[in-house]
Amino acid sequence: MWQKRGLIARLLWPLSLLYALGRALVVGAYRVGLRRPQRVGVPVIVIGNLYTGGSGKTPLVIELVSLLKRRGWHPGVVSRGYGGTAHQARLVTEGSEASECGDEPLLIASTTGVPVGIGRDRVAAAKLLLSMHPTCDVLVSDDGLQHRRLARDFEIAVIHGRGLGNGWLLPAGPLREPPRRLRDVDAVVFNGRVHPVRIYSPFFFLRTEVSDTYCLAKPERRGSLDVLVRRQAQANLRLMAACGIGTPESFFQMLRDRGLRFKTLALPDHYAYRRNPFPRHGVDGILITEKDAVKCRADRTLAHDERLWVVPLRAFVDQRLTELIETRLRGAQNGSEAA
């Protein structure tokens, strides 16, 4: 529905005008000074999108955090915690579960080892994180492009292969903000085969590769997808690919491109795995994403199902984008020290 301006979209268009008015009032309040973004004492990078749903932000967040660590920074991450039940600001800990803090914050924390704060109020989450980790000198906000209350020093908009859909705001279209918002961000990152989009900011491309897959129940059992392709050809393995992400077809297509044959199971985004969605028989292996894996580990049955194999994705960031970000961070850091 959101890719074209069809009948349903046109019927919903008047509601999009009301949504646009609400967004304009919020943005206007910040521009004229009725509301003020709050500084938290360290530079802030916001990674978000205009399109409702998944766009591949999390792999970019993970890789950017890892790059900052390698360059001597001490990053932290703040997130809304979509899919979790926590309402107040809190930190992700070793004992946290995805049902409480959300799958993406838990994945980021377990993968990068940096402190992660969650909360609907990202300012409160940021302040809590910095109070508990005073050596943190930069924050990365996973999503939050529309959360203007948190002041930021660098904004990145991620655009997935769907582009900007029909170009209309919710609910007639998929956009949280109008396309002209791309004029204001500091960089646009394209993830996948992207439909043509007018760009007003420096743009870069995100490259992703599959790391070695591993068995969820026995992580020491690892192997490349190429090995799995050969095993399927030799033993006629019956495979299934399953995921609860915003763009399931991108996961399925990536596996098809590697030569695998499988049944598909597209679950709702941020699927909680409160029940086992997988068939008991007729499937030799089930390929899942890392986001799904952090939730499957919390279920005793799924955590011991040796048919589940995790397919990790590694993102590669353009070095020019890294240099652009770090230049801005140094300037923001020097400015705060001078003040």
Q: Return the pLDDT at 161.
A: 81
Q: Encode 241-271 in three state secondary structure.
A: EEECCCCHHHHHHHHHHCCCCCEEEECCCCC
Mean pLDDT across the stretch 89-93? Answer: 96
Mean pLDDT across the stretch 27-33? Answer: 96
Which residues pair with residue 159 across a beta bridge?
Answer: 190
Could you tell me if 175 and 46 are in contact, meaning their C-beta atoms sit under 8 angstroms apart? no
Mean predicted lDDT score pLDDT of the chain: 93
**Which region among 79-83, 112-116, 191-195, 328-332 has the lowest average model confidence (pLDDT)?**
191-195
Q: Return the pLDDT at 316.
A: 92
Q: Return the pLDDT at 55.
A: 82
DSSP 8-class letter at 77: E
Q: Encode 207-243 in three state secondary structure.
A: EEEECCEEECCCCCCEECHHHHHHHHHHHCCCEEEEE
Q: Return the pLDDT at 115.
A: 98
Written as one string, the DSSP assignment of 8-65 is HHHHHHHHHHHHHHHHHHHHHHHHTTSS-PBP-SS-EEEEE-SBSS--SHHHHHHHHH
Q: Return the pLDDT at 339.
A: 57
Mean pLDDT across the stretch 118-135? Answer: 97
Is the per-residue pLDDT at 66 higher than 80? yes
Return all residues near 293 (Cβ < 8 A) that are at least 6 apart: 216, 308, 310
Is the per-residue pLDDT at 121 higher than 90? yes
Decide: helix, strand or coil at residue 189: strand
Reported confidence tier of residue 82, pLDDT bands at 50, 70, 90: confident
Domains of the chain, by residue range, sit at 7-16+31-207+316-333, 212-311
For residue 196, whether the previous peptide bond is cis, meaning omega lies within 30 degrees of 0, is no
Mean pLDDT across the stretch 289-315? Answer: 96
Q: Give me the percent of the chain exceeding a pLDDT of 70.
A: 98
Q: How many CA atoms lie within 13 A of 230 on its CB side?
A: 4
Reported confidence tier of residue 306, pLDDT bands at 50, 70, 90: very high
Reported confidence tier of residue 149, pLDDT bands at 50, 70, 90: very high
Residue 332 CA, distance from chain mean position: 25
Is the per-residue pLDDT at 200 higher than 80? no
Is the per-residue pLDDT at 196 higher than 70? no
- Number of Cβ within a 10 Å radius of residue 111: 18
Query: What is the fold, at CATH topology level, of the domain defined by 7-16+31-207+316-333?
Result: Rossmann fold (3.40.50)
Q: Return the pLDDT at 47.
A: 97
Q: Return the pLDDT at 213.
A: 97
Q: Return the pLDDT at 162.
A: 81
Q: Return the pLDDT at 338.
A: 54
Q: Return the pLDDT at 192.
A: 79
Decide: helix, strand or coil at residue 285: strand
Could you tell me if 196 and 312 are in contact, meaning their C-beta atoms sit under 8 angstroms apart? no
Per-residue pLDDT tens digits for 234-290? 999 999 999 999 889 999 999 999 999 999 999 999 999 999 999 999 999 999 999
Is the per-residue pLDDT at 13 higher than 60? yes
Report which listed range, 79-83, 122-126, 312-316, is most confident.
122-126
Reported confidence tier of residue 199, pLDDT bands at 50, 70, 90: confident
Is the per-residue pLDDT at 131 higher than 70? yes
Q: Return the pLDDT at 76.
A: 99
Give the span between the Cα atoms of 80 and 73, in whole angstroms: 23
Could you tell me if 321 and 207 are in contact, meaning their C-beta atoms sit under 8 angstroms apart? no
Decide: helix, strand or coil at residue 162: coil
Reported confidence tier of residue 195, pLDDT bands at 50, 70, 90: low
Encoding tokens for residue 275? Answer: 């029940």
Reported confidence tier of residue 86, pLDDT bands at 50, 70, 90: confident
Q: Return the pLDDT at 108.
A: 97
Encoding tokens for residue 294? Answer: 């952090």
Is the per-residue pLDDT at 336 higher than 70? no
